[in-house]
């Protein structure tokens, strides 16, 4: 159920919707301009938030609630990948492997399929410590069925197998095995909606016996210029599988490769277009869903998108915010 903004009749839905979705938890400090956030907590308790823009902006905080402070760009010189967009990097995803931190990022331009997923490495997460390693080998062009952006790393529990899940529009979300710095093997499709290909931004999270594939669906951006029809704005969906390679299905058993997907978080109250999500097992709070969203009380511009987060309850076998 999604609120229809600007229609008087939709206002009557607000009390119902507020029971369906929880409001974002507290965020202090710099909480705007946080498109496609990725967070991680360092061993000393410092939280790091990476986001699209500013050559991957880095913010830190002593707590998930903040106060968040801007620390600089992860790649102040841009990317070494020779593609348009290598000075305007998108969709960061940060992961720790051993004593190294890896930052995946996207090089592309809006609406283009000439794209690549790059990677940088650091031992501390701090601004000024990231070394650009260039392309992972995950690239795309108009001859391929996918777009190589929005990379997310997942490890097959108990093994040394790593997979990069990625994709935006075209023929949906794909996955490929990685080392984790380089591609190995061929990408294969894990999620697609042939009736509405507007899916992107995958995140895979292991909880219990299942691997949960979270993804964003709908129109992500430019709401201040042209808002999409009601129900077509960003929202967070999920499918699951007992295997990291799939197949993934939704709560009704529908294949995620044929339009399946169960709603996790959509527009409600003054929250509009939540997406660009990640899932993180916080050592204090447990599993949390984090994302960007528009606060309709503030404005609809991309630069006004706020950082939101909520705890997730998996007790039913499906994530509930």
Q: State the catalytic residues.
A: 36, 200
Within 2-71, residue ranges assigned H as helices are: 14-20
Tokens at 251, concatenated: 């709560």
**Cβ 42 vs Cβ 4: under 8 Å:** no
Q: Which H, E and C letters describe 237-304, residue by residue? A: EEEEECCCCCCCECCCCCEHHHCCCEEEECCECCEEEEEEEEEEEECCCEEEEEEEEEECCCCCCHHH
CB proximity list for 14: less than 8 A, separation 6 or greater: 3, 268, 269
* Cis before 26 (ω within 30): no
What does the alpha-carbon distance between residue 64 and residue 39 come to, in Å, rounded to a whole number? 9
For residues 278 and 34, give the distance between their C-alpha atoms in angstroms, rounded to a whole number: 13
CA separation for the pair 296, 273 (Å, rounded) = 10
């Amino acid at each position: 159920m999604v609120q229809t903004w600007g229609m008087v009749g939709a206002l009557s839905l607000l009390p119902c919707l507020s029971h369906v979705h929880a409001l974002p938890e507290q965020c202090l400090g710099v909480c705007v301009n946080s498109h496609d956030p990725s967070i991680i907590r360092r061993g000393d308790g410092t939280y790091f938030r990476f986001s699209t823009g500013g050559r991957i902006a880095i913010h830190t905080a002593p707590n998930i609630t903040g106060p968040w402070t801007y620390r600089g760009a992860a790649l102040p010189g841009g990317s070494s990948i020779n593609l348009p967009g290598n000075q305007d990097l998108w969709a960061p995803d940060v992961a720790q492997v051993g004593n190294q931190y890896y930052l995946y990022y996207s090089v592309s331009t809006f609406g283009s399929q000439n794209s690549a997923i790059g990677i940088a490495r650091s031992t501390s997460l701090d601004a000024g410590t990231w070394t650009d390693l260039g392309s992972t080998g995950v690239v795309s062009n108009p001859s391929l069925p996918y777009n190589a952006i929005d990379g997310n790393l997942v490890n097959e529990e108990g093994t040394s197998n790593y997979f990069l899940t990625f994709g935006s529009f075209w023929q949906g979300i794909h996955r490929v095995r990685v080392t984790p710095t380089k591609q190995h093997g061929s990408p294969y499709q894990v999620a697609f909606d042939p009736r509405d290909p507007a899916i992107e931004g995958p995140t895979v999270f292991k909880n219990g016996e299942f691997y949960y594939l979270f993804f964003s669906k709908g129109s992500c951006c430019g709401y201040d210029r042209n808002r999409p029809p009601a129900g077509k704005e960003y929202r967070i969906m999920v499918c699951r599988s007992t295997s990291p390679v799939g197949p993934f299905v939704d709560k009704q058993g529908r294949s995620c490769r044929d339009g399946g997907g169960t709603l996790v978080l959509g527009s409600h109250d003054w929250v509009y277009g939540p997406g660009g999500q990640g899932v993180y097992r916080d050592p204090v709070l447990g599993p949390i869903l984090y994302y960007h969203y528009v606060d309709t009380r503030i404005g609809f511009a991309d630069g006004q998108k706020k950082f939101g987060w909520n705890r997730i309850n998996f007790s039913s076998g499906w994530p509930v915010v």
